[in-house]
Structure 1
Amino acid sequence: MLARDIMNKKVLSISPDHSVSHAARTMLEARISGLPVSDDRGRLIGMLSEGDLLRRAELGLAAWDGTGRAGAKPEAFIKGHSWRVGDVMTQPVVTVDEDVPLGRVAELMAAKRIKRIPVMRGEEMVGIITRSDILRTIAASGPDVVAAGDEAVRRAVLARLCSDLGLDRGSIDVTIEHGNVNLWGEVNSETLREAARVAAETISGAGGVRNRLRIVGN
């Protein structure tokens, strides 16, 4: 699945010359926690999020005495007091191309600690992906579907164990008994043993999973 497959194509954006209070009202009315900021040519130049508004003077958290001491820097004063979105927004913007795999989008969100990523086609913003979009994708997903029959399930489970977990085909085996998947062989850790169980459970048609894998040395 790619970024373009789940992105929201109707993107609400705001001008850097809009007021911070207008931006806050817009986010509340649209029930969103962030806005892309675009210039008068439609180019994406920043992002304004709830996080950018947490140290505003209106909240009594942005006092500055002009000394430039740690915690009271001019940059913080600007972000806390300016009425312009352009002064408060976050730059540069983390973006992804529309053909980027969804897994990479999720990795960026986790690594950058951000809740939304604009989706680009060249220099044009064509959509946006939020954490909620990722969650909806997870909620709608199900186990992999494989052909019916014990042997088909057995081969699918073996393939998953070897390809995803890197287990040695010579050290493991899978059998099917009364619709249940039995995992046999040896692994080198409890974590890998549990990962094997999870991998088997992702295969549609696999009934109960009996994890008979042994940990080497135990």
Structure 2
Amino acid sequence: MLARDIMKKRVLSISPDHSVSHAARAMLENQISGLPVCDDRGRLVGMLSEGDLLRRAELGLVSRRDIAGVRAKPEAFIKGHSWRVGDVMTQPVVTVDEDMPVGRVAELMAAKGIKRIPVMRAEEMVGIISRSDILRAVTASLPDVIANGDEAVRRAVLARLCSDLGLEKGAIDVTIENGTVSLSGQVESEALREAARVAAETISGAGGVRNRLRIVANGGASDG
């Protein structure tokens, strides 16, 4: 799944010459947490988010200490007092290409701590993705579908353990007992043991997972 598959194509944007109060009203009326800022040519020049409006003079948050520090941090004064969106917006803008996998988009949003991210085609903004779009993609995802039968399930679980977790085939064994997947062998940590259980549970047709993997530590093994 790619960014273009989940993005909203109709994007509400504002001009850098709009007022901050106008932008705040637009966010409230449309129930969104941020707005792309575009110039007269439609080029993306910034983003205005709720976070950009948290230290505004209108909120009474400007203290004597803030005033005394204007010479040291004039940018903060501008951000807290200017009525123009262009002075308050965040730039440069974090964007993604329309062909970026959704998983990468989610990782970028988490790493940057942002709630909305514009989607680009070359220099043109063609959509926007919010955290709610990511959540919808998660709820719409389907479990892996594999062939029926115990042997098919066993092979699929083993392949998942090797490909996703990097486990060696010789270190683990997968069997099916009355429809339940049984894992045995050795792994290096409790976290890896639990990851193996989760990987096995993602395979469609697994009626449950019995985790008999042992943890190998400091040259010895302990029962998990």
RMSD: 1.2
- Give the corresponding residue for 1:101: 101
- Give the corresponding residue for 2:167: 167
Q: For residue 62 of structure 1, report the CA deviation from its aligned partner.
A: 3.1
The answer on whether the counterparts of 1:62 and 1:81 sit within 8 Å (CA) in structure 2 is no
- Give the corresponding residue for 1:186: 186
The answer on whether the counterparts of 1:179 and 1:207 sit within 8 Å (CA) in structure 2 is yes
Secondary structure, counterpart of 2:181 in structure 1:
strand
Q: For residue 69 of structure 1, report the CA deviation from its aligned partner.
A: 6.2
Aligned length: 216
Deviations 1:8-27 (A, max 9, x none): 11100000000000000000
Q: For residue 135 of structure 1, report the CA deviation from its aligned partner.
A: 1.0
Q: For residue 66 of structure 1, report the CA deviation from its aligned partner.
A: 5.0
- Give the corresponding residue for 1:30: 30
Task: Specify the code of the residue in structure 1 equivalent to 2:102.
Answer: L
- Give the corresponding residue for 1:2: 2
Unaligned residue ranges in structure 1 (runs of 5+): none
CA distance in 2, matches of 1:93, 1:154: 47
CA distance in 2, matches of 1:119, 1:59: 33
Matches within 5 A, 1:189-200: 189-200=189-200
Among 64, 67, 75, the alignment partner of 1:65 is: 67
The answer on whether the counterparts of 1:62 and 1:76 sit within 8 Å (CA) in structure 2 is no
CA distance in 2, matches of 1:24, 1:120: 25
Deviations 1:43-74 (A, max 9, x none): 0000000000000000011344255366xx21
- Give the corresponding residue for 1:48: 48
CA distance in 1, matches of 2:28, 2:62: 22
Task: Specify the code of the residue in structure 2 equivalent to 1:27.
Answer: M
Task: Specify the code of the residue in structure 1 equivalent to 2:25.
Answer: R
Q: For residue 91 of structure 1, report the CA deviation from its aligned partner.
A: 0.2
Matches within 5 A, 1:145-160: 145-160=145-160
Task: Specify the code of the residue in structure 2 equivalent to 1:161.
Answer: L
- Give the corresponding residue for 2:133: 133
Task: Specify the code of the residue in structure 2 equivalent to 1:22.
Answer: H
Unaligned residue ranges in structure 2 (runs of 5+): none
The answer on whether the counterparts of 1:46 and 1:91 sit within 8 Å (CA) in structure 2 is yes
- Identity, % of aligned positions: 83
The answer on whether the counterparts of 2:16 and 2:37 sit within 8 Å (CA) in structure 1 is yes
Task: Specify the code of the residue in structure 1 equivalent to 2:67.
Answer: D
CA distance in 2, matches of 1:18, 1:171: 63
The answer on whether the counterparts of 1:162 and 1:168 sit within 8 Å (CA) in structure 2 is yes
- Give the corresponding residue for 1:12: 12
The answer on whether the counterparts of 2:70 and 2:76 sit within 8 Å (CA) in structure 1 is no
Secondary structure, counterpart of 2:27 in structure 1:
helix
Q: For residue 142 of structure 1, report the CA deviation from its aligned partner.
A: 3.2
Secondary structure, counterpart of 1:45 in structure 2:
strand
Task: Specify the code of the residue in structure 1 equivalent to 2:93.
Answer: V
CA distance in 1, matches of 2:203, 2:147: 10
CA distance in 2, matches of 1:188, 1:89: 48
Return the TM-score normalized by structure 1. Answer: 0.96
Secondary structure, counterpart of 1:213 in structure 2:
strand
- Give the corresponding residue for 2:76: 76
- Give the corresponding residue for 2:121: 121
Change (3 A) 1:37 1:147: same
